[in-house]
Amino acid sequence: MQESYDVIVAGSGAAGMTAAVRAATKGLKVLIVEKAHKIGGTSATSGGVTWIPNHGLGTDDSPEQAMTYVKAVANGPINEKRVDIFLETGPQMIAFLQEIGMKPVPMPWPDYFPEAPGARADRSVVFPMYDGRRLGDLFPLMREQFTRFKLMNRYAMDFMEANTISTRSPGWKRTLAKVMGRYWLDVSTRKLTRRDRMMSLGGALIGPLVEQFVKLGGEFRLGTVVKKLVIENGHVTGVVTERFGRTETLLARHGVIACSGGFEWNQELRDRYFTVPGSIRNSSTPEDGNKGEVLKAGLEIGAATEFTETGWWVPTMSLPLSTASNFEEIHQAVFDVGRPHSVCVNRNGDRFVDEACGYDRFGNAMMEDQLKTGANTPCWLVFDATFRYKFTAGGVMPTALMPDRKIPPSWWDHYIFRAPTIRELAGKIEVNADKLEAVVAKMNEYAKSGVDPEFGRGGNAYDVNFGDPALKPNPCLGEIGKAPFYAIPVSLGDLGTKGGLKCDAQARVLDSNDQPIAGLYAAGNASGSPFGNAYPGAGGTIGPAMVFGFIAADMVVAEAQKAGLGQFTHNQK
């Protein structure tokens, strides 16, 4: 007999977990199929931030103000109907999370375009640290954070702790002692595993959702890839999966919800769709993870796509894994590129962006400069010894944690470059020395005046938020003058793809005639972003992913009611 469920959710990230928990609270029998052998998807490795305007957590935001902002920052077409329903449903989704015991906390972070009309600094929501012991035997199966989000690849930190330590803000030593003490005083966990049982950032979002899902009787099937969608009389009725070479058909009585991520790890699809394809190796999502299997399955049954030409951009760099020879790890340089005492130039030696802007804006600037000059992707982050002492540079930690003498010899002049003068550094990285010296001289003048007349670095609330508050007159501009001088190559990386299966405002997947494909829904990076190419604020990926997962679940529940499911079972909300 073929196994049958009320709804099958493909993917266990934020979109999939929200959809699954919502459907399970309504009494549906839910199965999550997850390609990886760990639970949590890309979301578990992320910052776990959700961008939810008018979230109802004590602000005076409004859908109208948020729509004004989204329209102002749109870099191309957007799906207004989907934005409308996102803004309308976001507060309901947040209220639902509170109902099931989660504690969303708004953060005072500026939107990524703070100069735009309608921008605010309270739309991003995070979740407090979560105790992994609550998951029992599932804890070891939860996807871990990347090393970039853990101190010394061991200690879990929340946002405030990470920022205090990385910028050496007042009290950073006390914060460091607190983080390390919390870990080593957890004697019972240390006897079992090196892993920190406290789950932060993306783990703090996924952990409680998994806890609720299991309590509601939901099932996981890990290491299971969706290869095809089963369609009968125009209605999606299940999925064909593959696990350890074995093919199996799983039936879904009331719907399939695709929440399986994008296609950033499929070079063929990147080459087909992306304006500047880039390499899969520059992606900062879990390696060899999101390859677009469900996208291809949707295309096979006539689904349409939208916004597939671009990704959620982020500057990245690579470093060898210290624990595994011949393997490299991608590191994000999200805020590093905009720290004071540094500048970014393309391979011609020219600046091309306000380096302290939002990471997606930075990535779009890289892409535009590449199309214009052919001398970007990668570009160079150039900095001095003051920067090196204070800040991270991708995976290169500040000198207090990683002095030059501890950097492996094989890294020098391959992954990180060093020279006693700017001119000699220019020679090493093959950038015109006269140009680079002139750029650095300009930056030093801007640091004195506090004004960047070229790109306005440090001239808005977002930029300033990640500068050095002790630096005057502009926290984002510091003299690049203390030898030695350094450079690292910065690639056009991504947090996933912005495009995928085309959906309507009810999260229903559409065909080439813009008609819903019965029984098939999508959310997260498996679908097209409602914002098109825009990235409005921190959590602009996960916020809509969770909201449309929530909407898709309610649509499946409505279909189940129409089909005469009868009395739902437990914990109806």
End-to-end CA distance of the chain: 32
Nearest to 209 by CA among 85, 93, 54: 93
pLDDT at residue number 165: 83
Name which of 24-28, 156-160, 241-245 the model is least confident about.
156-160
Exposure string for 414-428, b = 16+ CB within 10 A, e = fewer:
ebbbbbeebeebbee
CA quadruple 281, 285, 289, 292: dihedral positive or negative?
Answer: negative
Rounded average pLDDT over 417-445: 98
Name the more confident of 87 and 168: 87
Structure tokens belonging to residue 443: 């930056």
Confidence (pTM): 0.94
pLDDT at residue number 573: 40
Name which of 32-41, 173-182, 348-357, 431-440 the model is least confident about.
173-182
pLDDT at residue number 10: 98
97-131 pLDDT, tens digit each: 999 999 999 999 999 999 999 999 999 999 999 99
pLDDT at residue number 201: 95
Rounded average pLDDT over 298-306: 98
Structure tokens belonging to residue 488: 């690292």
Contact 538, 112 (CB under 8 A): yes
pLDDT at residue number 324: 80
> Cα separation of 447 and 430, whole Å?
26
Name which of 73-82, 91-100, 158-167, 451-460 the model is least confident about.
158-167
pLDDT at residue number 434: 98
pLDDT-derived band at 565, boundaries 50, 70, 90: low
Tell me the β-bridge partners of 391.
Answer: none
Q: Where are the domains of the chain?
A: 1-126+201-310+498-573, 145-200, 324-494
Average pLDDT taken over every residue of the chain = 94
pLDDT at residue number 1: 65
- Helix/strand/coil percent split, the chain, to 5: 35, 20, 45
Fold (CATH) for 324-494: Flavocytochrome C3; Chain A, domain 1 (3.90.700)
pLDDT at residue number 8: 98
Contact 65, 42 (CB under 8 A): no
Helices (H), 197-252: 202-215
pLDDT at residue number 152: 79
Exposure string for 471-503, b = 16+ CB within 10 A, e = fewer:
beebbbbbbbbeeebbbbbbbbbbbbbbbbbbb
Q: What are the residues whose beta carbons fall under 8 Å from the beta carbon of 29, sequence distance 6 or more?
A: 5, 6, 7, 217
317-366 pLDDT, tens digit each: 999 987 787 889 999 999 999 999 999 999 999 999 999 999 999 999 99
222-258 pLDDT, tens digit each: 999 999 999 999 999 999 999 999 999 999 999 999 9
Question: Architecture of 1-126+201-310+498-573 per CATH?
Answer: 3-Layer(bba) Sandwich (3.50)
pLDDT at residue number 570: 41
Q: According to the 3-state scheme, what is the secondary structure of 237-279?
A: EEEEEEECCEEEEEEEEEEEEECCCCCCCCHHHHHHHCCCCCC
Contact 355, 382 (CB under 8 A): no
Cβ count within 10 A of residue 309: 15
Contact 348, 435 (CB under 8 A): yes
- Angle formed by the axes of helices 14-25 and 542-562, to 10°? 30
Tell me the β-bridge partners of 511.
Answer: 303
> Cα separation of 245 and 263, whole Å?
22
pLDDT-derived band at 461, boundaries 50, 70, 90: very high
Name which of 6-15, 68-77, 152-161, 401-410 the model is least confident about.
152-161
**pLDDT surpassing 90 at residue 466:** no
Tell me the β-bridge partners of 379.
Answer: 490
Nearest to 213 by CA among 500, 20, 456, 13: 20
pLDDT-derived band at 498, boundaries 50, 70, 90: very high
**pLDDT surpassing 50 at residue 82:** yes
439-459 pLDDT, tens digit each: 999 999 999 999 999 999 999
**pLDDT surpassing 80 at residue 166:** no
> Cα separation of 265 and 283, whole Å?
7
Cβ count within 10 A of residue 83: 25
